[in-house]
Amino acid sequence: MSTSESTSRRRSGGGLDRFFHISERGSTVGTEVRGGVVTFFAMAYIILLNPLIIGTSADRDGVVLGIPQVAAATALAAGVMSILFGVVAKYPFGIATGLGLNTLVAVTLVGQQGLTWPEAMGLVVIDGIVICILAVTGFRTAVFRAIPDSMKAAMSVGIGMFIALIGLVDAGFVRRVPDAAMTTVPVQLGIDGSIASWPTFVFVVGLVICGFAVIRNIPGGLFLGIVATTIIALIVEAIVGAGPSSESPDGWALAVPSLPDSLGGVPDLSIVGNVDLFGAFVHAGVVAASLLVFTLILANFFDAMGTMTALGRQAQLTDDNGELPNLKRALVVEGFGAVLGGAASSSSNTVFVDSSAGIADGARTGLANVVTGVLFLLAMFFTPLYAIVPIEAAAPVLVIVGALMMMQVGTIDWSKFYIALPAFLTIATMPFTYSIADGIGVGFISFTLMALFAGKRKDVHWIMWLISALFVVFFAHGPIMDALG
């Protein structure tokens, strides 16, 4: 598009167009709305999954947050943060409770360290405050700029592999082999090596539909793919009655596709604001609590950094240096997600990798995020409506997007082993550990070491050395906690 054409489109597009730079980024209002809807359905599972992770376990006082309460708080925080990020940062990166971060809160902070839920959420709030300060001072931006291009590309590819694996696992296409099987193979195809369940069959059909839509460049193809696969899932469930996976291994993973009996009701937000900022320091001690905050910060910091890098590249919003415009502003708002998530008792909110689904369907601006956020807020009142869509209907989009993000692997110089090994470890570690932060940490440490061995020490920014050292502490936090008693 020429400069004059771009200017003409911006002038004719009205205030909404100018505010979100819709025409400037080669998009339309309709495309943004559609992309926002796709992102919501790709992310909506968090409203069902987060309550299962943090809403069912009792803390040391016997308090259980509760599934309905956590579901409502999760949708509230995701809605507010997605809208805020869209309006301020103006990027189509949906925000919701971070997977991995919520497990860290539930298992480590509450389960192992014996914190109460308010104390644990207090540490999440402190984590967010520190990250916001690091963003305001420009440190987060400096870290972005210190990362070599090869590592940025590896992070994008690794995240693509990660979300593809999430889609395959969520759909039951890949399953964990029970430890009782006494095998060295940790995962397998379907059930006993066979695609034996109806939900997985629906996923395969959805994958074919979405693949066809992308190949034929059908506008809104991924959105139509989710709709079509959901309809197929409704028909299949009505005929065979597979039921939930909690009752049978060949059932639906989360939501069972069926027409709702009612539209919903008033959400229970009673856990919102139930936070104790300093209780953890009293219960666990200053040193131990500080180390827990450090663990949260490092996981949160680099999870978001890797995701934003990958999404920015996928949406083609980065400049020649691989950096997003207005990056500092975006990082400050993203950091606030931990503050709001902790205050809402839904755990830290961060940029969601599943936003790649909406981007693949054309989303390029913050308007898509506003649409996603509004749908999250509506989900508080209309829970049965989003529960119609099973994860098996959204999972094909994640696999398709993973394949699209894999294309960036060609920008890595594989002929130089000191570049190739860290890139490979980054790409491999993310899906195998189910953690973006772990993949980045392994990649950073290996890159600094390989560069040193190759005589390229001066080419490595001092921030890379600092972050690598911090990741060594991060990976050793278990033994350190044990040493502290």
The reported pLDDT for the residue numbered 47 is: 87
Distance CA(457)–CA(453), nearest Å, equals: 8
Q: How many Cβ atoms from other residues are within 10 Å of residue 1's Cβ?
A: 10
The reported pLDDT for the residue numbered 129 is: 96
Distance CA(403)–CA(161), nearest Å, equals: 8
What's the pLDDT tens digit per position in 341-363? 999 999 999 999 889 889 999 99
Which two tokens mark 23?
């025409």
Q: What residues pair up with 189 in beta bridges, in sequence order?
A: 174
Phi, psi of 127 (to 5 degrees): -55, -45
Phi, psi of 237 (to 5 degrees): -65, -40
Distance CA(188)–CA(300), nearest Å, equals: 31
Asked if residue 440 lies in contact with residue 310, where contact means CB atoms within 8 angstroms, the answer is no
Asked if residue 307 lies in contact with residue 101, where contact means CB atoms within 8 angstroms, the answer is no
Task: Kindly write down the DSSP assignment for every residue of 9-28, as one continuous string.
Answer: HHHHTHHHHHHHTTTTTT--
Distance CA(74)–CA(77), nearest Å, equals: 5
Residues (pLDDT < 50) of the chain are 1-12
Quote the crossing angle between the two packed helices 139-146 and 462-475, to the nearest 10°.
100
Task: Extract the runs of DSSP E, i.e. beta strands, from 288-391.
Answer: 349-351
Distance CA(420)–CA(413), nearest Å, equals: 7
What is the 8-class DSSP label of residue 317?
-
Please name the residue that has the structure tokens 């229970």. 268
The reported pLDDT for the residue numbered 2 is: 45
Which two tokens mark 130?
């520190």
Which two tokens mark 48?
């069902």
Q: Give the contacts of 250 (CB within 8 A, at least 6 positions apart).
A: 172, 191, 196, 197, 198, 199, 200, 242
Q: What are the sequence ranges of the domains in the chain?
A: 20-412, 413-480
The reported pLDDT for the residue numbered 62 is: 93
The reported pLDDT for the residue numbered 477 is: 75
